[in-house]
């Protein structure tokens, strides 16, 4: 059975791998990563930060390999996050523009209804 630290790093690596696949799929197409996904990612990274700070160099090759994979995932994440952030910023701007348009249209409708009542 693998030590607890190794299990935690391997589980985090699985989660990061899944998140990275989702992020890569988001380069085009619909945005499916939601705030809850980002919160889970942040929580997972904080756990690993604490585990890394508490870890001692045990010389365990499996653990060293798991940490190397984790580092690779972090590098990939650092590469993908700016693009994902840009996509969400563009989506936010689009939604704000649509909301402003709907508010303007609603105001126009209300004005037309007031004019008809006269």
Read off the pTM.
0.75
Between the CA of residue 105 and those of 22, 47, 97, 98, 116, what are the distances in Å? 36, 48, 12, 10, 17
Cα separation, 100 vs 87, in Å, equals: 20
Pick the closest to residue 23 from 8, 11, 38 (CA basis).
38
The mean of the pLDDT values for the chain is 90
Q: What percent of the chain has pLDDT over 70?
A: 95
Between the CA of residue 2 and those of 8, 12, 53, 66, what are the distances in Å? 10, 14, 20, 12
Model pLDDT for residues 42-76, shown as the tens digit of each residue: 999 999 999 888 776 667 899 999 999 999 999 99
**What is the residue extent of each domain of the chain?**
4-84
Pick the closest to residue 81 from 24, 29, 30, 40 (CA basis).
24
């Amino acid at each position: 059975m693998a030590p607890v630290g190794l299990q935690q790093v391997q589980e985090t690596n699985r989660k990061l791998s899944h998140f990275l696949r989702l992020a890569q799929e988001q380069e085009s197409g619909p945005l499916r990563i939601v705030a809850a996904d980002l919160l889970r990612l942040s929580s997972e990274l904080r756990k690993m930060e604490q585990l890394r700070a508490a870890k001692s160099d045990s010389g365990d090759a499996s653990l060293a390999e798991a940490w190397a994979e984790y580092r690779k995932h972090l590098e990939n994440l650092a590469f993908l996050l700016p693009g994902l952030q840009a996509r969400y910023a563009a989506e936010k701007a689009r939604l704000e523009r649509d909301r402003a348009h709907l508010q303007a249209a609603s105001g126009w409708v209300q004005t037309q209804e007031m004019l008809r009542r006269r």
